[in-house]
Chains A and B, each alone.
Chain A
Amino acid sequence: MRQFVQQLVNGTVLGATYGLIALGYTMVYGIIQLINFAHGEVFMVGAFGGLTVYRYWLPESMTGNVWVALPAVLLVAIVVAVAVAVLMERLAYRPLRNAPRLAPLITAIGVSIFLQEAVRLFYPDGRRQQPFPRLISEGTFEVAGVTVAWVSVFVVVVAVALMVALQVFVKTTKTGKAMRATSQDPESAKLMGIDIDRVIVVTFVLGAALAAVAGVMQGMRFAQIDFRIGFLAGLKAFTAAVLGGIGNLTGAVLGGFVLGIAEALATQYVPHGSSWKDVWAFVVLIGVLVLRPGGLLGERVATRA
Chain B
Amino acid sequence: MPGATGRRWRGPVVVLLPLLLAVACGGGDEEESGAEGGGQATKVAKIGVIAPLSGDLTATGTGIRNSVELAIRQANEQNKVPGWRIELAAEDDAAKPDVGAQAAAKLASDAAVIGVVGTYNSSVALQVAPVLERANIVQVSPANTNDTLTRGESFRTNPTRPHKNYFRTATLDSLQGGFAADYATRDLNFRTAAIIHDKKAYGQGLADSFRAQFERNGGRVVATETINPGDKDFAAVLTKIRPLNPDLIFYGGEYPEGSLISSQAHGAQGIRAPVMGGDGIVDPTYTKTAGNAANGDFGTSVGAPPEQLPSARQFITDYQRAGFRDPYTAYGALAYDAANAIITTLPAALGSARAVNDEVRRKVLDAVGKVSFDGASGRVAFDAFGDTVTKTLTMYKVENGEFKPVKSGEFRG
Q: Which residues of A contact B (CB under 8 A)?
A: 3, 6-7, 10-11, 13-14, 26-27, 29-31, 33, 35, 37, 101-102, 105, 109, 112-113, 116-117, 120, 127-129, 131, 138, 140, 147-149, 151-152, 170, 179-180, 183-184, 218, 221-224, 226, 228-229, 231-232, 235, 242, 245-249, 251, 263-264, 267-268, 272-275, 277-278, 293-295, 297-304
B267 touches A149 (CB 8 A): yes
Picked from B225, B233, B267, the residue with its CB within 8 Å of the CB of A274 is B225
| Contact B12–A102 (Cβ < 8 Å) | yes
B57: min CB distance to chain A, Å: 9
| B56 touching A140, Cβ below 8 Å | no
* A35 and B16 in contact, given A6-B239, A183-B1, A268-B240 (Cβ under 8 angstroms): yes
Across the interface, which residues of B come within 8 angstroms of A249, CB to CB?
Answer: 1
Asked if A275 contacts B58 (CB within 8 A), the reply is no
B19-39 residues at the A interface, CB under 8 angstroms: 19-20, 23-24, 27
Measured between alpha carbons, how far is A272 from B227 in the docked complex, in Å? 11
Number of interface residues of B (CB under 8 A): 54
Q: Which residue of the partner chain, among A35, A131, A149, contacts B13 with CB atoms under 8 Å?
A: A35
- List B contacts of A263 (CB < 8 A): 236
Chain A, residue nearest B240 (CB)? A268
Option from B12, B228, B239 in Cβ contact (under 8 Å) with A10: B239
Bound state CA distance, A13 and B239, in angstroms? 14
Q: CB-CB < 8 A to A302: which residues of B?
A: 6-7
B212 CB-CB contact with A under 8 Å: no
- Asked whether B227 lies within 8 Å of A246 as measured between CB atoms, the reply is no
- B353 contacts A by Cβ under 8 Å: no
**Chain B neighbourhood of A231, CB < 8 A:** 24
Cβ A295 vs Cβ B289 within 8 A:
no
Identify the closest chain B residue to A128 (Cβ): B58
Contact A298 B289 (CB under 8 A): no
What chain A residues lie within 8 Å of B240 (beta carbons)?
Answer: 3, 7, 267-268, 273-274
Taken together as a complex, chains A and B put the C-alpha atoms of A264 and B58 apart, in Å, by 30
A247–B8 CA distance with the chains assembled, in angstroms = 11
Asked if B5 contacts A267 (CB within 8 A), the reply is: no
Q: Which residue of chain A has its CB nearest to the CB of B228?
A: A278
Q: List 29 A-B contacts (CB under 8 A).
A: A7-B239, A13-B233, A13-B235, A14-B235, A33-B9, A35-B16, A109-B19, A109-B23, A113-B23, A117-B27, A120-B54, A128-B59, A129-B289, A131-B288, A180-B2, A184-B3, A226-B56, A228-B55, A235-B20, A247-B4, A247-B7, A247-B9, A248-B1, A267-B236, A274-B226, A275-B199, A293-B10, A299-B5, A301-B8
Residue of A nearest to B225 (CB): A274
Q: How far is the CA of A148 from the CA of B4 in the complex (A)?
A: 37
Alpha-carbon distance between A148 and B167 when the two chains are bound, in angstroms: 49
Q: Are A245 and B236 interface neighbours, CB within 8 A? A: no
Partner of B12, one of A35, A180, A222, A297: A35
Judging by beta carbons under 8 Å apart, are B268 and A147 in contact?
A: yes
Q: In the docked arrangement, what's the CA distance between A148 and B239, Å?
A: 11
User: 10 closest pairs, A vs B, by CB?
Assistant: A183-B4, A294-B6, A267-B236, A30-B1, A10-B235, A149-B268, A247-B5, A264-B236, A30-B4, A274-B225
Residues 159 to 214 of chain B near chain A (Cβ within 8 Å):
196, 199
For B16, the chain A residues whose CB sits under 8 A away are 35, 37, 105, 109
- Measured in the bound complex, the distance between the Cα atoms of B13 and A293 in whole Å is 13
Contact A37-B20, Cβ < 8 Å, known A131-B288, A294-B5: yes
- Of all chain A residues, which has the CB nearest B243? A3
Interface residues of B in 255-290 (CB under 8 A from A): 256, 259-260, 263, 267-270, 285, 288-289
User: Which residues of B (370-408) have their CB < 8 Å from a CB of A?
Assistant: none
B1–A179 CB distance below 8 A = yes
Further contacts, 14 of them, CB under 8 A, given A229-B232, A231-B24: A13-B235, A35-B12, A37-B16, A101-B12, A105-B16, A152-B268, A180-B1, A183-B1, A223-B289, A224-B259, A249-B1, A275-B226, A298-B6, A299-B5
Contact (Cβ within 8 A) A129 B256: yes
Of A128, A295, A301, which one neighbours B7 at CB under 8 angstroms?
Answer: A301
A305 to chain B, nearest CB (A): 11
Residues on B with beta carbons closer than 8 Å to the beta carbon of A242? 13
Q: Report the nearest A residue to B289, measured CB to CB.
A: A224
B237 at the interface (CB under 8 A from A): yes
Q: How far is the CB of B400 from chain A (nearest CB, A)?
A: 17
Complex CA–CA separation, A140 to B54 (angstroms): 35
Q: Which residues of A contact B288 (CB under 8 A)?
A: 131
Q: Give chain A nearest CB distance to B95 CB in angstroms.
A: 11
Interface centre among B11, B15, B54, B196 (most CB of A within 10 A): B54
